[in-house]
Amino acid sequence: MYEQLLQKLNKLTPLNPQQQQELCRFVHKLELPKASLILEAGEISNHIYFVAQGVVRSWYSSYGKEVTRWLCFEGHFAASYFSFAYRNPSEDSIISISDCELLCISYEDLQYLSQQDRVWIDLNRRLLEFYYTNLLARVASFQTQSTAERYNALLQEHPDIEERVALSHIASYLGMTQETLSRLRKKSKRWQKLT
């Protein structure tokens, strides 16, 4: 589990064995059942979570409806990044939508590490850049792709998503109604039968 995290971090910022060992002293393992609230909107995000196993959902409330902002699968980080970085209350709630194994590090521990070695400052910056780049790509997909293209891209990236995530959450994440998603799924199944 820790190896997964270290591989991901080494892609962002190479860490030497001593730095890896130091990090592991501050990273904690969490095992959460499905439907565990990780962060509630209005709280300050004090942790960054690495999803080793399971699926985590970030959502916000809009006119009384839950809107899915992110779906985080294995090998990805989950947090309310702006809340974490700027110490502001989170607009999002974060919940496990399956049984999950997470690795987490606190804001305080990351700050402590940053005072000891500049590599942690670089890593924190890279995490924010990674989040920002993904955010821009997501916005661009809404501006340049049709609903069908967004759905197909999601299936390409996560072929088993429909078995792991409620269709209502998938539709919300893709910015469409459940009815639209249902039509796209029917078309996709018909197309698969023809090929």
The domain covering 2-144 belongs, at the CATH homologous superfamily level, to: Jelly Rolls (2.60.120.10)
DSSP symbols for 2-64: HHHHHHHHHHHS---HHHHHHHHHH-EEEEE-TT-EEE-TTSB--EEEEEEES-EEEEEEETT
Give the pLDDT score at 151. 93
Give the pLDDT score at 131. 87
Q: What residue segments make up the domains of the chain, in order of their start?
A: 2-144, 146-195
Spell 84-105 as b/e; 16+ CB within 10 A means b. Answer: bbeeeebebbbbbbbebbbbbb
Query: What contacts 52, CB < 8 A, 6 or more positions away?
Result: 1, 4, 5, 74, 101, 102, 103
pLDDT by residue, tens only, the chain of 195 residues? 789 999 999 999 999 999 999 999 999 999 999 999 999 999 999 999 999 999 999 999 999 999 999 999 999 999 999 999 899 999 999 999 999 999 999 999 999 999 999 999 999 899 889 888 998 999 999 999 999 999 999 999 999 999 999 999 999 999 999 999 999 998 877 555 544
pTM (two decimals): 0.90
